[in-house]
Structure 1
Amino acid sequence: MAGYDDRDGLIWMDGKLVEWRSANVHILTHALHYASAVFEGERCYNGKIFKSTEHSQRLLYSGELLDMPIPYTVEEINAAKDLTLKANGLTDAYVRALAYRGAGDEMGVAASANPVKLAIAVWTWGAYYGDAKFKGAKLDISKWKRPSPETIPSAAKASGLYMICTMSKHAAMAKGCSDAMMFDYRGYVAEATGANIFFVKNGEVHTPKADAFLNGITRQTVIGMLRDMQIVVHERHIMPEELEGFEQCWLTGTAAEVTPVGSIGPYNFEVGELTRRVSTEYEKLVRL
């Protein structure tokens, strides 16, 4: 497939559908220099974006947290996403909404006078971790930690928060891994580079408390599914030494969906019955 800058299709940019190769910004766009951008990753199944409204709401909230008010309503964002999918003739696709501070009168750290822009692109995208959906992903353990909420708004899906994720994933891939698990600033288990994490022990599920990383929409969905199944879910701080005692593990995220984990560093997990059941039930739910 061609590079992401060289494809056929249309991208929605501030109310206009723009030819894919012409969907550009100026080199002095503030977001390019200072990471003043927030985004959403969403999936469309059978012509319907799963939890589209929740994603649009979170996009606006992320903008608020970064002092970057996005000049669109939830309804307008939802409509723009649907229009972009139809314009590209896609019914099963990944949807990327990106709000960013553009070029304007200011080009320093402060740029409140610069306009906030919104773009939406859609494309076909298969399993994020390839065949790991069946045999379990292999994860490295990152040397980078999720930062304290006192240093940056961890509840925002902000572009700048992902730089250590990029470095962590590059290091993991160099070791033959699919991804990396990260600890938080206190040393607790946090998440993978772009997905939340769950563990199973004695038929109960344990997942890190989302107080220093993004509380993913897929994470919340899966917790709800588990409780509907009468499975006990513990949202709590998890210490590194507990990894050895867990039997199963999986990742959740819009891109990852529900992906089993086979290993994290020296710790191994089975792709067990509960992991397979959650993955299957999630696949059914998103296609309702």
Structure 2
Amino acid sequence: MAGAYDDRDGVIWMDGKLVDWREANVHILTHAMHYASSVFEGERAYNGKIFESRRHSERLLASGRMLDVEIPWTVDEIEAAKYEVMKANGLSDAYVRAVAWRGSGEDMGVSSAKNPVRLAVAAWGWGNYYGDAKFKGAKLDISKWKRPSPETIPVHAKAAGLYMICTMSKHTAEAKGCSDSLFMDYRGYVAEATGANIFFVKDGEVHTPTPDCFLNGITRQTVIGMLQDRQIKVHERHIMPEELESFEQCWLTGTAAEVTPVGQIGDYNFEVGAMARDISNAYEALVRA
């Protein structure tokens, strides 16, 4: 499958039924398009099995509740929809995107309580998120934008509106020849990349930012567990930007990114070392098991 995402063969699950890919549309006055009342999940499937599928479905419902978007489907129904759409498209290895949003209805202002909540699930083939950076080490810019305070927005929801500064930051990074961009948070601590959490290595131990103002990724949690199983000390803590100079290795984690080593952040360079390679290979083996 290739080409523009609105012009492909296949089907998409929408509100309980399979719809031709090109007909899976919404009205221009859909509330989510104007006011970002939308939450989503990105998942990867290998050999017909979606990794941590139920956790993603549970998080989708939790994200909706944080935005006052009560999704009228159960975890079991969402699970069934994901596997139905994969089967209908003949996919065993796939990227799966579930998205819920406030649709068109009686409300077209900030309020949307009278509008129905809709749900769609699409699946397609998708290779490495960072291309060959997975082997060479990704190059990151440092964003001018900061992850906001939990007092300003529901930072732990996987919500469409939270990705606005991610898109802007990634465009800037790509214009500089980088793969992605690193955010600081509202206090000045190292936070995350535009769609992935970040880890650092120093003296055989791992350091990763405390996810108190950004998403605690499912891949992040999985990798921490893998490191602890290997008796590797993991420090979840606030990291100052000036500490970047002292770290030896670095990698990103995310459902799309999986585990991608980082070779450079701004003026700081990192080795694509043994620990980064090992955890990347081990994660690939885990999700394909």
Matching of residues 146-165 of structure 1 within 5 Å: 146-165=147-166
Distance in 2, matches of 1:150 and 1:43, equals 32
Cα deviation code 1:95-119 (max 9, x no counterpart): 0000000000110000111000000
Structure 2 residue aligned with 1:172: 173
Amino acid at match of 1:58: R
Structure 2 residue aligned with 1:97: 98
Distance in 2, matches of 1:191 and 1:236, equals 13
Structure 2 residue aligned with 1:239: 240
Q: TM-score, normalised by structure 1?
A: 1.00
Structure 1 residue aligned with 2:251: 250
Distance in 2, matches of 1:280 and 1:88, equals 28
Cα deviation code 1:209-237 (max 9, x no counterpart): 00000000000000000000000000000
Alpha-carbon distance, 1:287 to partner:
1.1
Alpha-carbon distance, 1:42 to partner:
0.1
Alpha-carbon distance, 1:139 to partner:
0.3
Amino acid at match of 1:192: A
Alpha-carbon distance, 1:34 to partner:
0.1
Structure 2 residue aligned with 1:213: 214
Matching of residues 57-136 of structure 1 within 5 Å: 57-136=58-137
Distance in 2, matches of 1:86 and 1:101, equals 27
Distance in 2, matches of 1:124 and 1:145, equals 32
Amino acid at match of 2:130: Y
Report the number of matched residues.
288
Structure 1 residue aligned with 2:280: 279
Distance in 1, matches of 2:163 and 2:17, equals 28
Distance in 2, matches of 1:112 and 1:235, equals 39
Identical pairs, percent = 76
Amino acid at match of 2:118: K
Cα deviation code 1:111-132 (max 9, x no counterpart): 1110000000000000000000
Cα deviation code 1:79-100 (max 9, x no counterpart): 0000000000000000000000
- What SS does structure 1 have at the residue aligned with 2:263? strand
Amino acid at match of 1:261: V
Segments of 5+ residues of structure 1 without an aligned counterpart are none
1:42 aligns with 2:43: yes
Distance in 1, matches of 2:188 and 2:113, equals 36
1:52 aligns with 2:53: yes
- What SS does structure 2 have at the residue aligned with 1:59? helix
Alpha-carbon distance, 1:172 to partner:
0.2
Cα deviation code 1:176-218 (max 9, x no counterpart): 0000000000000000000000000000000000000000000
Structure 2 residue aligned with 1:8: 9
Structure 1 residue aligned with 2:196: 195
Alpha-carbon distance, 1:2 to partner:
1.0
Amino acid at match of 1:180: S
Amino acid at match of 1:8: D
Distance in 1, matches of 2:81 and 2:135, equals 35
Amino acid at match of 1:26: H
Amino acid at match of 1:158: A
Amino acid at match of 2:18: L
Alpha-carbon distance, 1:168 to partner:
0.1
Cα deviation code 1:160-179 (max 9, x no counterpart): 00000000000000000000
Segments of 5+ residues of structure 2 without an aligned counterpart are none
